[in-house]
Amino acid sequence: MKGILLCVAGMGLSVVLALAEETYSSVDRPGSGGKADERFAPGLIKFEDADLAKVLDIYHELSGRTVVRSSALPGAKITIRSQTQLTRIEVLQVLDSVLAQNGIVMIPQGTKFVKAVPKAIAPLECPPVVDLPREQLPDCGTCITYYVEVKHQKPRDVVHALQPFAMLPNSILAIDSANLIVLRDFSSNVRRMLEVLERIDKPDPAEKTPVKKKKDTAKRKAAKAAQDHASNK
C-alpha cells in the first residue's frame, strides 16, 4: 500500500518528537548522546512512493528544524525502507542520501534551519563547515564544506586527482598561497577525496635524503674523480 509507515511503540512519531527541544542534523558529531543516539528499529522508517512534501514533514520532525523549501523542487516520489537499526542522526543521513538521489539536496543552516534545494542550484548555497576527522564524516548525501591543508604538494597540482570524485560542479577550490583546498560537495564524496589526498600528499623522494648522506655521496664522487684523474696520469 502506498504511503508512509511510521510508528514508535504504538505512538505517533510526531507526538514523540514534538517533545524534543533540541535540533539535529546529519553532520552532528557521532556519539553525542541524548536523543541524537536514540535508535529506531529496522523497518520503522518506510516510504512507499511517498510525496516529497510528506517526506520533508517527517524530516522536520526528526531534525527539529524548520525546513526551508525551494519553490523549484522536483515532484519526486520517495521509496525507501530501513533494514537495520538506525540512530536519529543516521536516519537523517539516509534521508539526505535518498533525497539527493532524487535531485533534492538538504543543506543545514545554523542550528534551526535546513534548506531543501534542487541539486542544480546546490553549488550556489553555503553548506556548513564540518571539521570531523575523515573517518567520522558521514558516508551520505549531505552537502558540506571541508577545509584541508596540503602539506607537501601544491594544492593546484593535486586538484586533477580529486576531480573524478566530485559530484557537484566547481566543488574543489585550490588556494596555493595558503596551502589549502576547500571542498564543497556531498559528505561521501569528500571522504573519498580526503582518502586520495592522504595517499598523494607526500614529500618528494629527494626531500627524504638526509643532508649528511648527500654530503657523503658528494665526497665519494669527488674522491673517485681524483683517483681516476691520478690513474690517467
Band (204; pLDDT cuts 50, 70, 90): confident
CATH label of the domain that carries residue 52:
3.55.50.30
Return the amino acid letter for 70: S
- SS3 for 38-63 is CEECCCCCEEEEEEHHHHHHHHHHHH
Q: How far apart are the C-alpha atoms of 222 and 176, rounded to whole Å?
A: 39
72-83 pLDDT, tens digit per residue, is: 999 899 999 999
The domain tally of the chain equals 1
Residue 76 lies inside a defined structural domain of this protein? yes
Residue 232 lies inside a defined structural domain of this protein? no
Residue 55 lies inside a defined structural domain of this protein? yes
The CA dihedral of 111, 117, 123, 125, to the nearest 10 degrees, is -40
Average pLDDT over residues 34-57: 91
Q: What is the pLDDT of residue 182?
A: 97
Residue 185 lies inside a defined structural domain of this protein? no
Q: What is the pLDDT of residue 130?
A: 95
Band (149; pLDDT cuts 50, 70, 90): very high
- For residue 144, report the phi and psi dihedrals to the nearest 5 degrees: -135, 165
82-107 pLDDT, tens digit per residue, is: 999 999 999 999 999 999 999 999 99
Element of type H or E holding 7 = strand 7-8
Residue 57 lies inside a defined structural domain of this protein? yes
Q: What is the pLDDT of residue 213?
A: 54
Q: b vs e for 20-57, b when ≥16 Cβ sit within 10 Å of the residue's Cβ? A: beebbbbbbeeeeeebbebebeeebbebeebbbeebbe
Element of type H or E holding 229 = helix 211-232
Most confident by average pLDDT, 122-131, 198-207, 208-217:
122-131
Q: Kindly state the percentage of the chain with pLDDT values over 90.
A: 70
Q: What rounded mean pLDDT belongs to the chain?
A: 85
Average pLDDT over residues 157-177: 94
Q: Is the distance from CB of 50 to CB of 1 less than 8 angstroms? A: no
Band (219; pLDDT cuts 50, 70, 90): low
**Does residue 30 register a pLDDT over 90?**
no
Residue 72 lies inside a defined structural domain of this protein? yes
**Does residue 19 register a pLDDT over 90?**
no
Residue 181 lies inside a defined structural domain of this protein? no
Boundaries of domain holding 20: 1-123
Band (20; pLDDT cuts 50, 70, 90): very low
Residue 41 lies inside a defined structural domain of this protein? yes
